[in-house]
A and B are shown apart, each in its own frame.
Chain A
């Protein structure tokens, strides 16, 4: 199946630091990428949908100035958590797809972010 690489897999940093997470589709051109966050024992919460070359569409309640998403190419999207604080600690997961209803999403392995 299609491969999506997410990096880093985990990061620990001090409060106030900005953290960038990369999501790459390795063997197909992803028209659409999705970013999720997941708290322990909860489901995935969609943060934003990103189409290549366009601004990301953020879900209600997600601060776009806090979570910067860039999708400059068909194989790379980045999520930057700006001025991270302990409440931003979570498991962040990206996925990539061709953006059509009959195409599945392919997920990265997630990034565990811990803010001290």
Chain B
């Protein structure tokens, strides 16, 4: 079973920020938090990952709660191309189990 829970779907307006939450209350001390996204009929695409500190890259930011039981993926300005299913996974590098993810719709 997946070790994370996410909302089934979210909606955002184009060019507005999007905050995608993820709960991983059973995360172990050495598990990293990874985010991927998937467009229809494609393999997932890596977005970002982190352990304890907040992380930024060209695609997104990852805010990790101090107790590490939850995290938030932040898309600073949503575009139509960001519409996808976003998956949050916590793992040790040997066991990646995908949950249902969050389907993000971006409205023009």
Residues on A lying within 8 angstroms of B by beta carbon are 1, 4, 6, 32, 34, 36, 42-46, 49, 91, 93-95, 97-110, 112
Contact = CB atoms under 8 A, between A and B. Distances in A.
Interface residues of B, number: 27
B21 interface: no
Given A1-B46, A105-B36, A105-B46, A46 B94 contact: no
Contacts of B99: 43
Contacts, number: 69
A110 B103 CA distance: 20
B43 A102 contact: no
Given A102-B93, A103-B93, A105-B36, A44 B30 contact: no
A69 B94 CA distance: 16
Contact of B43 (A43, A93, A100, A103): A93
Given A101-B93, A108-B43, 5 more contacts: A6-B43, A101-B30, A105-B36, A105-B44, A107-B44
Given A93-B44, A101-B31, A110-B41, A46 B93 contact: no
A46 B99 CA distance: 11
